[in-house]
Structure 1
Amino acid sequence: MKNDLPDIAALDALLGEQRQAYLREPYPSWQTRAGHLKALRAMLLDNRDALAEAMNADFGNRSKGEILLAEFFIAKEEIDAALKHGKGWMRPQRRSTNKWLMPARARVVPQPLGVVGIIVPWNYPVLLAAGPLISALTAGNRAMIKMSELTPRTSALFEQLIAKTFSRDHVAVVNGDAQVAAAFSSLPFDHLLFTGSTKVGHDVMRAAAEHLTPVTLELGGKSPAIIGPHARFDYAVDSLLGGKTLNAGQTCIAPDYVLVPRGKEQAFIERARTRIAKMYPDFAHNGDYTSIISDRHYARLQRLADEAVEAGAHVHPLTSAPADPATRRFPPTVLTNAPDHVTVMQEEIFGPLLPVIPYDTLDDAIAWINARPRPLALYLYDDDRATVERVTRETIAGGMAINETLMHIACESLPFGGVGASGMGAYHGYEGFATFSQMKPVLAQARFNARGLIAPPYGKRFHALLRVMMKF
């Protein structure tokens, strides 16, 4: 769909096609679902080079190795896990019944919802299209996918490949600008999953509310990292820098700021510089470091840094190579002493700026995090079990990783989702299957039962029985 203006009638018609196809086959067999997953897997792997080239062109530069690892490998693993476990997820789940309902039997029957809408961001266009689609297909649904206009080459190629792999009434890709996205989010899907900014998430939820469409919102926010008092400091810095520089920080679960024990700020900066030099030698010409997606996003990052400096923050470049607006190569940069009111401390950064904030006690670090909106991810580096348990219990985040950054998203058995301002709902693995299923509760009463004992008229026998029931 390549119209510049949203064609509401065309979107409605596509949704209608898919809904009719769903009604013709409302409960596809596992063999059918597995065939769809295998087709998607083959499409992604067979075309990974072409998709990587398109993504590189869209970004200006993006490492092929990074793309294959962060997009295709994770998607492949998710499909493999679904193929391994999906048949079991489909089985009805037996549930217990209380003694007063016996001999009735209870179970939960997973059913496909119907047609799922998926709105994809620009930062990981293949993974964040394929990931929700994997869950939707495993659950037996049809799907419409709205790709991002900021990755036009990748989005166009993905549309072509999906069209070759699936019938239009099964999986279809819609391309277009923000107006198309707005029209897409207003469709009466059976479920809508949006990945993107918190600001746009508000708009999507408002649009979905018109039809009471249930939503899963994968947003973002300011994901904190704590280097604890018992951390392996150098390892912690190295690991955090790996997560922060992947995709040049254009990752929803990238560490947004780091809390370090007071007095360790300079040690953090020095170790970070050493690590960046090893990861990206000859930084100015290194092909493994990704460009910022657009001139607008690049200019925003520069404004964030400039505003912080004007307010008294100190800037610590981690490489001697200067920022390059022509190639949109923005070097990793640490900020210290940034006042809390500046934008870089209030908004998700989505780039390679990293505020470092000192803390005096673990109480202070936990209080700092809990005083702010709940993040999509939280990272703790510490080897002390009591510290790990305390931070796990006393903070709330969409997900958490200990002595690691980002990689919880690669664990396909864990749900992925936000909480509060960072989103709602989850997918991946079984939770993705459940998100895109109606987990229908079913109670089956036996031929001979005691239901008649609690039916009107409510006489003496009924009240005597009710008194007995109330005592248990």
Structure 2
Amino acid sequence: MKPTDLPQSGLSSTFAAQRAAFGREPMPDAAARRANLDRLARLLKDNQQAICDAISADFGHRSSTETRLIEIFPSLEAIRYARSKVAGWMKPARRHTGLWFLPGRSQVRYQPLGVVGVIVPWNYPLYLAVGPLVGALAAGNRVLVKMSEYGPAFGELFARLIAEAFPPDLVSVVLGGADVAAEFSSLPFDHLLFTGSTPVGRIVMAAAAKNLTPVTLELGGKSPAIVAPGVDIKTAAQRIGFGKMMNCGQTCIAPDYVLLPRGQEEAFIAAMRAFAAKLYGDAASPDLASLAHERQFARMQALLDEARAMGARVEPLLPDGALSGRKMAPVVLLGGTPAMRVMQEEIFGPILPIIPYDTLDDAIAYVNAHDRPLALYVFDDQRRRIESLLDRTASGGVTVNDCILHIAQDDIPFGGVGPSGMGRYHGPEGFKTFSQQRAVFRQAALNGSAILHPPFGKPLAEKLIRLMLR
């Protein structure tokens, strides 16, 4: 049976087949893991145009160049990095042994967990499938991947490509709607990684808890960009604008709002508008992605309609052009109030509220009064002030003087904190997330532990105990 045809009843049998295969080969060597990563890389390299076309079909439109830059390229980089490091990651790590236990030795050994489940969202369907897959395969696991029902064309393609590249007891792709997702979350995985919204993350975690399945939740939230006083507004506007307009704002770590020194609002809007025009011309540009589905398009319109009705000022950054389908011009919003949904919910689209502040302390207080975000962006040219701001705020990750780019650094972990997620993956942290970190103590043939055995009260033992408790 092909992965694309798996009914609900096939989920448990596919899971069982992977669990049985893991039992037969519980510790694949580095060469086998590199070979699996090579298969994944070839799959991406050999099918670039098909991948771009399928994602564009699901979105209504997304530029092939954008897909190659924001999905295929970072996926290949993650594979290359893991492939070059996996043998070193696998080596047992020597750890400190307490003085009283010498000449014994302590170490941590990294073993595969078993069968890993990955639930993929619709906004970056390739990268957010491949990223966890790289970590899980590098750690020696079997993997079941659940694709989003909101990306049917890419889901079908990815399922076929994976089936051609991997045996189903190593990697398998599952398609289907909410009923399949619910069953998937309830399987007794050895680890489950979910990327998506915070409300759905709670449901996934509750289902996994029934099996005591450990979870990594990559969620979202309202990621702020703080522009410090004295910073070049044009540069900040361009870098924030690119982070916001990429993928039409449908990025979990897109800047959700900007905290700007009061009085700089008009200069910031003018710089954003000029930059948007340079990139796209107008909103009909083939380089500007569409909103991915009707529900997303309707939600963006509803957020704007409510904000306007409640007194907000909406400034389009591009002429509408000859808009069709789910195209939407990016906009800046001024005068947002806490009562507006756009100021409460993760926007996940091309709407950027500006919140003016009087002092940097006020900006920090605003961030800290809200849920801890998945990302934080700091624009400043004073190192001491940057360090202070980093010390006084919390977020899953940070990019200083740009946006988004921390996610593409393969040697630093990616993840959220609090409502924006839990757990980390990418690079060595991803390898460890999908590994059993097994503690091993090796006792030496000659050792003094018997001195402390009963019967107690022996003079030498008493002296040692007094010294140990010094």
Question: Distance between the aligned counterparts of 1:383 and 1:350, measured in 2?
Answer: 29
CA contact (8 A) 2:378 2:386 kept: yes
Residues 1:50 and 2:62 aligned together: no
What TM-score do the two structures reach when normalised by structure 2? 0.98
Amino acid at match of 1:290: A
**Greater alpha carbon shift after TM alignment, 331-340 vs 455-464:** 455-464
Question: Distance between the aligned counterparts of 2:16 and 2:227, measured in 1?
Answer: 52
Question: Distance between the aligned counterparts of 1:217 and 1:190, measured in 2?
Answer: 15
What is the CA distance between 1:456 and its match in structure 2? 2.0
CA contact (8 A) 1:241 1:276 kept: yes
SS in 2 for 1:465: helix
CA contact (8 A) 1:230 1:384 kept: no
What is the CA distance between 1:360 and its match in structure 2? 0.7
Corresponding residue for residue 450 of structure 1: 448
Please give the residue correspondences for 1:53-72 in structure 2 after superposition, counting only pairs within 5 Å. 53-72=53-72
Amino acid at match of 2:38: K
Amino acid at match of 2:309: E
Corresponding residue for residue 419 of structure 1: 417
Please give the residue correspondences for 1:212-231 in structure 2 after superposition, counting only pairs within 5 Å. 212-231=212-231
Amino acid at match of 2:326: R
Corresponding residue for residue 345 of structure 2: 347
Question: Distance between the aligned counterparts of 1:3 and 1:75, measured in 2?
Answer: 26
What is the CA distance between 1:295 and its match in structure 2? 1.0
Question: Distance between the aligned counterparts of 2:254 and 2:322, measured in 1?
Answer: 20
Aligned counterpart in structure 2 of residue 328 of structure 1, from 309, 326, 329: 326
Corresponding residue for residue 366 of structure 1: 364
CA contact (8 A) 2:205 2:215 kept: yes
CA contact (8 A) 2:312 2:335 kept: yes
Question: Distance between the aligned counterparts of 2:231 and 2:188, measured in 1?
Answer: 49
CA contact (8 A) 1:238 1:275 kept: yes
Question: Distance between the aligned counterparts of 2:430 and 2:322, measured in 1?
Answer: 40
Corresponding residue for residue 173 of structure 1: 173
What is the CA distance between 1:285 and its match in structure 2? 2.8
Question: Distance between the aligned counterparts of 2:345 and 2:45, measured in 1?
Answer: 36
Offset from partner CA, 1:298-344 (integer Å, 9 cap, x none): 010111111112222111111221694x5111110000111012111
Question: Distance between the aligned counterparts of 1:353 and 1:284, measured in 2?
Answer: 14
What is the CA distance between 1:53 and its match in structure 2? 0.3
Please give the residue correspondences for 1:70-469 in structure 2 after superposition, counting only pairs within 5 Å. 70-281=70-281, 283-321=282-320, 324=323, 326-461=324-459, 462-469=461-468
Amino acid at match of 1:90: M
What is the CA distance between 1:253 and its match in structure 2? 0.3
CA contact (8 A) 1:142 1:171 kept: yes
Query: Does the C-alpha gap of structure 1 residues 467 and 361 become closer, same or farther in structure 2, counting only changes over 3 Å?
Result: same
Question: Distance between the aligned counterparts of 1:349 and 1:98, measured in 2?
Answer: 51
Q: Which runs of 5+ in 2 are unaligned?
A: none
SS in 2 for 1:368: helix
CA contact (8 A) 1:323 1:329 kept: no
What is the percentage of aligned positions where both structures have the same residue?
52
Question: Distance between the aligned counterparts of 2:437 and 2:308, measured in 1?
Answer: 52
Question: Distance between the aligned counterparts of 2:322 and 2:254, measured in 1?
Answer: 20
CA contact (8 A) 1:72 1:127 kept: yes
Offset from partner CA, 1:232-255 (integer Å, 9 cap, x none): 211110000000000000000000
What is the CA distance between 1:273 and its match in structure 2? 0.7
Query: Does the C-alpha gap of structure 1 residues 79 and 353 become closer, same or farther in structure 2, counting only changes over 3 Å?
Result: same
Q: Which runs of 5+ in 1 are unaligned?
A: none
Question: Distance between the aligned counterparts of 2:199 and 2:47, measured in 1?
Answer: 33
SS in 2 for 1:426: coil
